[in-house]
Structure 1
Amino acid sequence: MYTAKGQLDINSMIKQYSPLVRRLAHQMIAKLPANVEINDLIQVGMIGLTDALSRFDAAQGVQFETFATQRIRGAMLDELRGGDWMSRGTRRQQRSIETAVHKLEQKLGRAPHESEIAKEMGLSLVEYQELLGKVRGTQLVYLEDMSGDDGDDDYLDRHVVSDDHNPLAQLQDQRMRQALVDAIKNLPEREQYVMSMYYEHDMNLKEIAAVLKVTESRVCQLHSQSIARLRVKLREW
């Protein structure tokens, strides 16, 4: 889009690509803990979009949307790094859920129910569900910490950035892919639906909540719980 003088129309471009910023923010927010606000991500994403508009060079042969996506994600990640978005305490809580899931699976020979996990952790069901909401920042797989190390260094780069170095790119190994597929098939039915809608059909939390007729916070809880189950299975692989 250009003005009558042949210059790039910045305002029109921002209007056209602002939905891209919102889409990227919604994709990222589900991988982050509840203390991260979607509006904050959108705001810094818009700054990234403006930066992309000022730096874009069509002569480089790259489509603007591809270039802008990288700048927008980069702006969001820079903001998250500066905010120390996921505390060590939150990561310990996530590992405590995984430990409880693993113990119960060994004891029961099946996927434990929410109430059983809560009891194992010494929590009420409500307290456990609140905890699931707090540890929302867990990804599908953290390949680097399958050995059990803390893996705190470069956490964002390893678990959120969408490039050739992220965990999903490393899932090209067919055996790991098959292990993941098998683990998903063994999830409770509703959690299978959540994973399928989120990862296969690229639906956001609001859309999934509408399909399941539950709240967005409930979808977050189901997502966190399914991630804990998958991480247990893949650690055994």
Structure 2
Amino acid sequence: MTSEQLWINYKEKDNREAKDELIIRYVPLVKIIAGRLYNNYNAHIEFDDLLGYGVIGLIDAIDKFDHTKNIKFETYANIRIRGAIIDQIRHMDWIPRSTRQKYRKIEEVIEKLQKIYGFDISDELVAEEMGLSLEEYSKLLGEVTTYAIISLEEKIDDNSNFDIKSKNIEFQPEDKYVDEEMKTILTQIISKLPEKEKMVLQLYYYSELTYKEIAEVLSISESRVSQIHTKAISKLKISLEEIV
């Protein structure tokens, strides 16, 4: 049976079996999204847990999806599934207070230097401002990478249904306006980043490469990719806080 017929059977005929079949049919989408997020959180959460949260988001998406609209379900579900997983992760509050404090300190220093030198701030400059050696600063960036990603996602989520790598929008006109505005703001901020930081963001979010794959493309270490990524998203979050 086609997906179109399943939607008709469920939405117009309230057929429970059609809903079950839709869930089964789109579970692979949940696995893709959960797998992507697992790359960020694997040290702190089980993949099966992420998958479970994602299925909850999938069911919610199926219940709320309007099949009469000219929008692909995958487009709508991507936001719902990802949002459900991230919401659950946020509620777990498993990130140590010390990690949050370290990241906020980095943010404060980058924000200060950014106002003076713009977006092209060297690691040496940030390390010096923090009173750390370059080695100590690099290690610190590695420690806060996961929280940096969550922090940016929370900031975006608080202001929009926008997904950093997605062109997806919700159905309501006001949501579309907010998403388009957020998309424009992020595009403008990213365009100001140093070339290597832009490249890492592009390869990570749009091309969906792993740190290992990005390292091979850019001929640098995985840890260096992680550091560049952390710096880039810190700048994005700082800039978003100044604008929205």
TM value normalised by structure 1: 0.61
Instruction: Tell me which of 10, 24, 44 is aligned to 2:52.
Output: 44
Deviation at 1:46, TM superposition (A): 6.3
1:191 is aligned to 2:197: yes
The one-letter code of the counterpart of 2:146 is: R
> How many angstroms apart in 2 are the aligned matches of 1:160 and 1:216?
31
Instruction: Tell me which of 126, 137, 148 is aligned to 1:128.
Output: 137
Deviation at 1:203, TM superposition (A): 1.8
1:229 maps to which residue?
A: 235
- Structure 2 unaligned spans of 5+: 3-16, 163-168
The one-letter code of the counterpart of 1:125 is: L
Deviation at 1:191, TM superposition (A): 0.6
1:87-110 per-position Cα deviation (integer Å, ceiling 9, x unaligned)? 554333222112212333455567
The one-letter code of the counterpart of 1:39 is: F
Preserved contact between residue 98 and residue 228 of structure 1 (Cα < 8 Å): yes
> How many angstroms apart in 2 are the aligned matches of 1:66 and 1:111?
35
2:224 maps to which residue?
A: 218
Preserved contact between residue 209 and residue 219 of structure 1 (Cα < 8 Å): yes
Q: Identity, % of aligned pairs?
A: 31
> How many angstroms apart in 2 are the aligned matches of 1:109 and 1:68?
38
1:149 maps to which residue?
A: none
Preserved contact between residue 160 and residue 179 of structure 2 (Cα < 8 Å): no
Preserved contact between residue 194 and residue 219 of structure 1 (Cα < 8 Å): yes
- Structure 1 unaligned spans of 5+: 144-153
Preserved contact between residue 81 and residue 156 of structure 1 (Cα < 8 Å): no
Preserved contact between residue 48 and residue 68 of structure 1 (Cα < 8 Å): no
Deviation at 1:216, TM superposition (A): 4.4
RMSD of Structure 2 on Structure 1 (CA): 4.8
Which has the larger share of helix?
Answer: 2
Instruction: Tell me which of 82, 107, 111 is aligned to 1:102.
Output: 111
Preserved contact between residue 191 and residue 223 of structure 1 (Cα < 8 Å): yes
